Amino acid sequence: MVSNVILDIEGTICPISFVKDVLFPYFLRQLPALLDQYPYPLLEDPSDPIKTILRKFPQDKTATRDSLYTYIKTLVDNDVKDSVLKELQGLIWAKGYHEGTIKAPLYEDAIRAMYTWSTRKDKKVYIYSSGSVQAQKLLLQYVRSINEPETAPGKDLNELVSGYFDTTNAGPKIQATSYSKIAEKINSSPAKCLFLSDNPKEVAAALEAGMHSYIVVRPGNAPVESAPAAKISTFDQLEL
């Protein structure tokens, strides 16, 4: 029996287009002004959280403002799941979410299932995304159903989630050991966990760790050629 449902975010509970067309462009618009406020090379300053993150990028990239900008932009343009980039993005997106500029459109079946599972005594919902834990919490704090207008009042779904995992606290999403670690952290055997993701490599890693897993197919996702597991197109197909 499945006791823990672990959800990927992009391409699973929300469209990839929200990340590519809303979140990434918002981040890139804020980036020049953010980098302009510092002298280079970046020196240590524990009192400044942004500078502290920027200094985690490779030292040769932080030598000048332009080399740092080019490096970060290249990571974003290539959708590199770099943990320092993800930490920085979480910090920048916070402004957009809190100001009301950004609201995350979630698939209606995903919202419904999260409510249903989290209110059952025998189920818990977790998140595992390449986005930082801070970015995950923000995204779930400002949610609208994908079928509602952008002006719809936001819902906060964080109370439905029992824990958040990213590449920093669990490890890379395409490695089986990350899923074993998550199971251990939530005091569960992998056999009692179900992982849902759009990425077949992530699904293969979860299966290797002994979890149940399905590939989630949503409009706009990359076509899945060789599938390591069955595909679902809505969470309504799951009988848990």
Ligand X SMILES: CSCCC(=O)C(=O)COP(=O)(O)O
Q: Could you tell me which residues are annotated as the binding site for Mg(2+)?
A: 8, 10, 198
**Contact between 11 and Mg ion (CB under 5 A)?**
yes
Among 4, 130, 178, 213, interactor with ligand X by CB under 6 A: 130
Q: Report the site for Mg ion in 160-219 (rule: CB under 5 A).
A: 198
37-76 footprint of ligand X as x/- string (CB under 6 A): ----------------------------------------
Q: Out of Mg ion, ligand X, none, which partner does residue 15 contact, by CB within 5 to 8 A per kind?
A: none
Please give the Cα distance from 93 to 45 (Å, whole number).
22
Nearest to ligand X of 23, 204 (CB atom): 23
The values of phi and psi at residue 10, to 5°, are -65, 125
**CA triple 159-127-240, angle to 5 deg:** 85
Looking at beta carbons, which residue is closest to ligand X?
Answer: 131
Strand partners, 209: none
Query: What is the strand order of the sheet 163-165 is part of?
Result: 163-165, 124-128, 4-7, 193-197, 212-216, 231-232
Yes or no: say if 128 and 6 are a contact pair by the CB < 8 Å rule: yes
Among 8, 82, 87, 109, interactor with Mg ion by CB under 5 A: 8
Q: How many residues bind ligand X (CB under 6 A)?
A: 15
Q: Out of Mg ion, ligand X, none, which partner does residue 87 contact, by CB within 5 to 8 A per kind?
A: none
> What letter represents residue 227's amino acid?
A
Q: Out of Mg ion, ligand X, none, which partner does residue 231 contact, by CB within 5 to 8 A per kind?
A: none
Q: Report the site for ligand X in 2-21 (rule: CB under 6 A).
A: 8-11, 19
Which pair of structure tokens corresponds to residue 29?
């618009």
Strands (E), 45-117: 104-106
Strands (E), the chain: 4-7, 104-106, 124-128, 143-145, 163-165, 193-197, 212-216, 231-232
Nearest to ligand X of 9, 160 (CB atom): 9
SS3 27: helix
Best CA proximity match to 130, nearest among 222, 213, 11: 11
**Contact between 139 and ligand X (CB under 6 A)?**
yes
Query: In whole angstroms, how close is the CB of 189 to ligand X at the nearest point?
Result: 24
**Contact between 131 and ligand X (CB under 6 A)?**
yes
Stretch that binds Mg ion, among 11-19, 28-36, 140-148, 224-232 (CB under 5 A): 11-19
Residues forming the site for ligand X (CB under 6 A) = 8-11, 19, 23, 81, 86, 129-131, 135-136, 139, 173
Residues forming the site for Mg ion (CB under 5 A) = 8, 10-11, 198
